[in-house]
Structure 1
Amino acid sequence: MTPFKLTLLAKACLITGLALTSPTLVAAEKTIPELVDAVNGTPDAASREAGKKVKLRNHTKGFCTSGTFKPDPQLQQTLAIPFFNQDAIKVTARFSLGGTNPQISDKTAGRFMSLKIDGDKENLNFVTTNVPVFFASNLEDFFTFQTKVKQGAEGKQWLIDNQPSAKAFFDYVKQLPPSPSFANSRYYGVNSFLFSPQKGGAQQGETVAGKWIFEPVAGTAALSASELANLGDDFLKAEFLARIKTQPAQWNLYIQLAETGDEINDPTVIWPETRQRLLVGQVVINGGRDSDPQVQQCDKGIFNPLLLPKGIAASADPILNARTAAYVESFIRRQ
């Protein structure tokens, strides 16, 4: 294992605590290795070993690039998050499609954006998708979903017939048209976090719950059937990297705030669009650091959504709290 990989693993171990030694720490219902097997489609020892040889992982098809994050100074009037008191902060980004198939077509609707924002003393990672609703609210349903979708049409129909959250997810994806660019997608953090308000500010109480939303400055866009037919299966990476050579891709980052009665520990629930949003800042992806080893190696590590600065804490969402341990398990299998 290279020194770079050892460093990544050491950091992951420190972050996840007992995650590497206690695979049942998240829930007795399913272990972390079982969850990773469900995602990878490796239910037995033979398939698991075969998966390790090809470095099987979710979001296999993707690429890394870079940019900056510019915090909005007005945020500090509402929330007490010292991390956002900095000027422009360096960003490492990975854009990807879902699944373990490296040949998946870009004509599918799913788009994913993961970010590492590395400040002077603290860090903040994001794992986001263009679908605002998740397909499972607990680890048991997550395992069932991942297992059933590997069975093809029959398994998908079972989920539609037996799991309302899975049906709602499929219904949303079905009406979601593919975007012509990663830059034309809105990205959601489906899990909730807890934010510390400024004392005496508009938000009262010890913490306020919220979700991340990235709004594309270029606006959202959808490919028509005729446009889609004229494209190949691998247009997204080339389009994006060509785009940022002339004009950066940009997103405004917001926190959508929960109100009393909103479900904050269940990612299958979408909050009303009328919920208040706070502008956090702007992500600017321009490829300026793409020659840096950190950027070139970013797809070999993990994006840890629980690596949080002071003033931000994880909610009790079981899906959120299983992510890091699962990512570390997947990372270890790829070495």
Structure 2
Amino acid sequence: MPLFKLTLLAQACILTGLAFSSPTLIAAEKTIPELVDAVNGTPDAASREAGKKVKLRNHTKGFCTSGYFAPNPELQDSLAIPFFNQSQIKVTARFSLGGTNPKLSDKTPGRFMSLKIDGDKENLNFVTTNVPVFFASNLDDFFTFQTKVKQGAEGKQWLIDNKPDAKAFFDYVKQLPPSPSFANSRYFGVNSFLFTDKQNNSVAGKWIFEPVAGTAALSASELANLGDDFLKAELLQRINTQPAQWNLYVQLAESGDDINNPTVIWPETRKRLLVGQVVINGERDSDSQVQECDKGIFNPLLLPKGIAPSADPILNARTAAYVESFIRRQ
């Protein structure tokens, strides 16, 4: 095995060990490999080996680009997070669709944005979706959901009939129209984090990305005139003339809000703090870090001082699951 792959594997094993230190994971009935098998649809040794050969992964259909993050200087009046004291921080972005099908149509409604914001000394990663509600509150329900959806219409109906969280998710997606661009989607971090305020208290919050260009939806006639692969070309052409931009907010929890359950949507009336602006302009697209961003992982638990994970079991399983998937692709 080449030296760089051995290094990556060592780093992955370290990350896995850190992730498994969570009491939430230790108590889980499903193992991380089982969860990855459920996502990949590889329930046995034969399908697992076949998946390794094609480097099977979730969010297979996607692409990488770049830009920068400009923090809001006024954020320091509310939160004590030194990472955001920088003026501009480089960003590596990956836009994608969900699932393991590399030929999934862009006409489907799901949109995903993952970001690596690499500062001078610390880093911050985001894994976000245009659906603000998650389909499972625990790892067993996550496993059941992923297993059932692989069964097609029958499995989906079972989830609707037996899992209220899954039904709420399907109901939201059903009314969500496809956007004409990744730049016209809102993106949500469905998991909560703990932020240190100026009084050294921890306050819970969720990430929300609001598109500066506004949201937009494709009509039925517009969809009919599009092919299945318009999103990548649209965004890359767009940023040739003007950047794609999002304002990043932290939506703060109030007393009584469930901060450890990603199936719960907090009211829109919750206070939001402007963290800064993401600007995607493709300025570093020739860099190897950007061109090869598909080969790594976006680790949402890679956090700077002043931000900590909540006890959400879905959040705390992400790193270990991403690393397991990463190792299988090597």
TM-score, normalised to structure 1's length?
Answer: 0.95
Is the CA contact (8 Å cut-off) linking 1:18 and 1:25 kept in structure 2?
no
SS of 2:13's equivalent in the other structure is helix
Residue 328 of structure 1: which of 315, 323, 326 is its match?
A: 323
| Offset from partner CA, 1:44-80 (integer Å, 9 cap, x none) | 0110011001100000000000000000010001000
Residue aligning to 1:178 = 178
Counterpart of 1:315 in structure 2: which amino acid? S
Deviation at 1:150, TM superposition (A): 0.1
Residue aligning to 2:296 = 301
Deviation at 1:85, TM superposition (A): 0.4
Residue 247 of structure 1: which of 223, 242, 247 is its match?
A: 242
Q: Distance in 2 between matches of 1:94 and 1:9?
A: 22
Residue aligning to 1:211 = 206
Counterpart of 1:32 in structure 2: which amino acid? I
Residue aligning to 1:311 = 306
Q: Distance in 1 between matches of 2:11 and 2:285?
A: 22
Deviation at 1:154, TM superposition (A): 0.1
Deviation at 1:8, TM superposition (A): 3.5
Deviation at 1:152, TM superposition (A): 0.1
Structure 2 matches for 1:255-266, cutoff 5 A?
255-266=250-261
Residue aligning to 1:202 = none
SS of 1:105's equivalent in the other structure is coil
Structure 2 matches for 1:231-246, cutoff 5 A?
231-246=226-241
Deviation at 1:131, TM superposition (A): 0.1
Deviation at 1:87, TM superposition (A): 1.1
Is the CA contact (8 Å cut-off) linking 1:15 and 1:307 kept in structure 2?
no
Deviation at 1:119, TM superposition (A): 0.3
SS of 2:124's equivalent in the other structure is strand
| Offset from partner CA, 1:177-197 (integer Å, 9 cap, x none) | 000000000000000000000
| Offset from partner CA, 1:71-118 (integer Å, 9 cap, x none) | 001000100000000110000000000000000000000000000000
Structure 2 matches for 1:125-204, cutoff 5 A?
125-199=125-199
Q: Distance in 1 between matches of 2:56 and 2:77?
A: 45
SS of 1:146's equivalent in the other structure is helix
Q: Distance in 2 between matches of 1:20 and 1:263?
A: 23
Q: Distance in 1 between matches of 2:25 and 2:229?
A: 39
Q: Distance in 1 between matches of 2:4 and 2:68?
A: 23
Q: Distance in 1 between matches of 2:5 and 2:231?
A: 28
| 1:229 lines up with 2:229 in the alignment | no
Q: Distance in 1 between matches of 2:5 and 2:96?
A: 21
Is the CA contact (8 Å cut-off) linking 1:71 and 1:88 kept in structure 2?
yes
Q: Distance in 2 between matches of 1:140 and 1:149?
A: 14
Deviation at 1:19, TM superposition (A): 5.0
Structure 2 matches for 1:23-34, cutoff 5 A?
25-34=25-34
SS of 2:217's equivalent in the other structure is coil
Give the aligned length: 329
Is the CA contact (8 Å cut-off) linking 2:15 and 2:323 kept in structure 1?
no
Is the CA contact (8 Å cut-off) linking 1:134 and 1:267 kept in structure 2?
yes
Q: Which runs of 4+ in 1 moved over 4 A?
A: 1-4, 18-22
Deviation at 1:169, TM superposition (A): 0.1
| 1:95 lines up with 2:105 in the alignment | no
Structure 2 matches for 1:279-298, cutoff 5 A?
279-298=274-293
Counterpart of 2:241 in structure 1: which amino acid? T
Deviation at 1:15, TM superposition (A): 3.2
Residue aligning to 2:117 = 117
Q: CA RMSD in A?
A: 1.6
* CA gap 1:61/1:162 in 2 versus in 1, 3 angstroms: same
Which runs of no fewer than 5 residues in structure 2 stay unpaired? none
Compare 225-234 and 7-16 and name the one that shifted more: 7-16
Is the CA contact (8 Å cut-off) linking 1:26 and 1:321 kept in structure 2?
no
Counterpart of 2:108 in structure 1: which amino acid? T
Is the CA contact (8 Å cut-off) linking 1:62 and 1:94 kept in structure 2?
yes
Structure 2 matches for 1:75-94, cutoff 5 A?
75-94=75-94
Is the CA contact (8 Å cut-off) linking 1:183 and 1:250 kept in structure 2?
yes
Residue aligning to 2:12 = 12
Q: Distance in 1 between matches of 2:247 and 2:10?
A: 33
TM-score, normalised to structure 2's length?
Answer: 0.97
| Offset from partner CA, 1:259-291 (integer Å, 9 cap, x none) | 000000000000000000000000000000011
Q: Distance in 2 between matches of 1:162 and 1:20?
A: 30
Is the CA contact (8 Å cut-off) linking 2:15 and 2:320 kept in structure 1?
no
